[in-house]
């Protein structure tokens, strides 16, 4: 999956729901994982796009660009943002649907783009 900017929250809910629906699993869990040290995954509100911008803005405030980082690659803030968000999420499946709250959406968080990224998934019946 290509990302287009240095930092972004990309809503992947529809694509993941399509995977769940096509899996034949009516009840179980869906696990999403990103194998990158400068990206993350979160569940949060998707109805108002300002929420995503607020999350990215707050992360930039919490993780300052001008901190005296020892990692010299230039992307230390992205590593810390990924550590704060985490690299995996798990969602229940019922009736072949992701069990999300009314306003919840699944977001892939890019912290060091633009890049070509991977989003791995596993759907388990249960």
Report strand pairing: 27-33 vs 120-125: antiparallel
Strand partners, 45: 104
Domains of the chain, residue spans: 8-125
CA distance 109 to 122: 19
pTM, rounded to two decimals: 0.95
pLDDT in tens, 17-61: 999 999 999 999 999 999 999 999 999 999 999 999 999 999 999
Q: Exposed, middle or buried: residue 35 (CB in 10 Å: 0-12, 13-18, 19+)?
A: exposed
Q: If you count DSSP H runs as helices and E runs as strands, how many of each does the chain have, helices first?
A: 3, 7
Question: What fold is seen in the domain 8-125?
Answer: Jelly Rolls (2.60.120)
Answer whether 58's CB lies under 8 Å from 9's CB.
Answer: no
């Amino acid at each position: 999956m290509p990302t287009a900017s240095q930092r972004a929250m990309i809503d992947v809910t529809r694509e993941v729901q399509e995977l769940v629906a096509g899996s034949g699993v009516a009840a179980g869990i869906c696990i999403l994982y990103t194998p990158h040290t400068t990206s993350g995954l979160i569940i949060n509100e998707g109805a108002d796009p300002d929420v995503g911008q607020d999350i990215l803005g707050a992360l930039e405030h919490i993780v300052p660009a001008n901190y005296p980082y020892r990692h010299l690659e230039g992307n230390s803030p992205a590593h810390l943002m990924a550590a704060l968000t985490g690299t995996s999420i798990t969602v229940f499946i019922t009736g072949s649907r992701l069990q999300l709250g009314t306003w919840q959406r699944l977001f892939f968080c890019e912290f060091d783009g633009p890049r070509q990224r991977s989003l791995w998934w596993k759907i388990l019946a249960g």
